[in-house]
Structure 1
Amino acid sequence: MKLELETIPVWDGVASQSECFLCDLMAEAQKDGLSFYLGNSVMNPETRVKVNEHGFCTKHWQLLAAANKPQGVALMADTYLGMTRSKAEKSINNLLGTKTPRGAKKAIQAFKQEMEAREKGCLVCSAMQQRLDRYVFTTCYLWGEDEAFRQALQEGKGFCLHHFQLLLEKAPTVLSSSLVASFVHDLTQTEVFNLDRIAKDVYWMTQKYKSENMDKPWNGCEDAHKRSVDKMTGRHRVIDPV
């Protein structure tokens, strides 16, 4: 499937000098996804059918519930819960009817499988994943086509390790075979340089709490603990959206 290029947000991301502009773009994608299901869309029958069928992951149900839009969330929860009860009716009846340890174990396993299937396919995660696919594709594509972008990416702060991995995986499907090795080398070089920078910053933060260093300058490391966690884990990852 051919992906649509997203050159403007990707270029803006590179120019932002963020620790991981893909995390920033995913934060925007999440905000947009939540806003869609907190708005008038919940009155649309097609939207309600999608919510009833797929629902949201735990994280996004919680964010929707915390968004101070109780009516829309209640409408979605009402019909989603009803659909969940309907789909799990057989499994629940089997749990109610267990009479032996073996029967109970079998009923529990069946209910577990029902719940695991039910909890896959978060609509917000899926929308985020579609945008992430386009952003990752565009980043690789621009690196291969635009020397200015290549230079800007090399001079940037790299990515969280999760999105760094995704870019490496995507490159062979986007770039010509003659460019893949150079892309991997250049991107890894930038990533290692910035991992070393983060490591240096967070180390100095640990030293600043020693009595002999309390009067020394922070050198911009006041938030090094947050930046190091973001770099290691990614602030906005899409995990198992389908």
Structure 2
Amino acid sequence: MKEKLHTIPVNEAFDKVSECPVCNMRKELEEKAIDFTMGPSYMEDDVRGETSRLGFCKSHMELLYKNQNRLGLALILKSHMDRVIKDVEKQSASSTKIAAPSLFKKQGSSLGVVSYMEKLNSSCYICEMINRTFERYIATVFYLYRHEEEFRQKFKACQGFCNDHYALLYKVAPKHLSGSQLKSFTDDLNLLYIENMKRVRDDLEWFINKFDYRYANEPWKNSKDALPRAITKTNSII
């Protein structure tokens, strides 16, 4: 199989034994984004400008803190807080007096502050880094499915997908495939999802049974790690 720009990480994700290869791809991107952000790059003006403007979501802030580069994170947050203070001072200075809302009139322009904070609280430098490459990875999945028989067989042999990424692949498939290839892909996708959800569900059921004294002497089968695998299937956590 001829490896192109993004085919290597996509193939590697599908080569791993996992309840969702797409989760593997996203997790790898997340780890690289955290390492990049907390590496020497945080001293670069263009990176600092973006982290100051966008900030970070809660989950990625927790991962940044766990990175142990406390000085680097402190410098990043200092610049971010400087930017937020400056922006809010500017927004609040230009706001008009807050008027009580009515049925027929929207609240005054002071809502510019609220709009700014809502936009800030929904932005994340790490998320944006991940999403830019993740979209290309998803496009590569369809490129490989369309052109490479070896990958089609690899796709069919995987252990299915989490709820989120099953829906994503189903949603974007018509943008990349058509006709018989689209039908073949959605048939494969549906079969993989349903059969593997049932497999993990059954493992989880046996895991539950093992807490019943009547099953104390029965083998665990494949259920010992059923709970974390079920969490991957339902919530995309690996």
Give the equivalent residue in structure 2 for 1:28. Answer: 28
- CA distance in structure 1 between the aligned counterparts of 2:179 and 2:5, rounded to whole angstroms: 20
Deviations 1:156-181 (A, max 9, x none): 10111111111112211112333111
In structure 2, the CA distance between the partners of 1:106 and 1:59, relative to structure 1 (3 Å rule), is farther
Q: Does the residue aligned with 1:88 lie in a helix, a strand or coil?
A: helix
Other-structure match for 2:9? 9
Deviations 1:67-105 (CA, angstroms, capped at 9, x unpaired)? 21111111111111011111112566799x879899xx8
The 8 Å contact of residues 198 and 224 in structure 1, kept in 2 or not, is answered as: yes
Deviation at 1:27, TM superposition (A): 1.3
Corresponding residue number in structure 1 for 2:83: 83
Following superposition, the deviation at residue 12 of structure 1 comes to 1.5
Q: Which of these residues, 177, 181, 184, is aligned with residue 179 of structure 1?
A: 181
Query: Number of paired residues?
Result: 230
CA distance in 1 between partners of 2:100 and 2:84 (Å)? 26
AA in 1 matched with 2:9: P
Which residue number corresponds to residue 55 of structure 2? 55
Preserved CA contact (<8 Å) 2:161 2:192: no
Q: Aligned letter for 2:59?
A: K
Structure 1 stretches of 4+ moved >6 Å: 97-102, 105-108
CA deviations on 1:100-139 (whole Å, 9 max, x unpaired) are 899xx86985543221111233111111112221221111
Secondary structure at 1:215 match in 2: coil
Quickly say closer, same or farther: Cα 1:176–1:100, change in 2 above 3 A.
closer
Instruction: Report the alpha carbon displacement of residue 5 of structure 1 after superposing the two structures with TM.
Output: 4.8
**Runs of at least 5 residues in structure 1 that lack an aligned partner in the other structure:** 237-242
Report the AA paired with residue 130 of structure 2: M
**Equivalent position SS for 2:26:** helix
- Within 5 A, what are the aligned runs for 1:1-242? 5-89=5-89, 110-235=112-237
Q: What percentage of aligned pairs have identical amino acids?
A: 29
Tell me if the contact between 1:140 and 1:170 (Cα under 8 Å) persists in the aligned partners. no
CA contact (8 A) 1:91 1:107 kept: no
Give the letter for the 1:62 counterpart: E
Say whether the 8 Å CA contact 1:136–1:166 is kept in structure 2: no
Secondary structure, counterpart of 1:18 in structure 2 = coil
Relative to the length of structure 2, the TM-score reads: 0.87
Amino acid at match of 2:132: Q
**Cα RMSD (Å) of the superposition?**
2.4
CA 1:108 to 1:61, structure 2 compared with 1: closer, same or farther past 3 Å?
Answer: farther
TM-score with structure 1 setting the length: 0.86
Aligned partners of 1:22 and 1:159 also within 8 Å? yes
Unpaired runs of 5+ in structure 2? none
Matched residue type, 1:7: T
Q: 1:98 to 1:90 in 2, by over 3 A?
A: farther
CA contact (8 A) 1:41 1:47 kept: yes
CA contact (8 A) 2:99 2:108 kept: no
Q: Distance in 1 between matches of 2:140 and 2:99?
A: 58
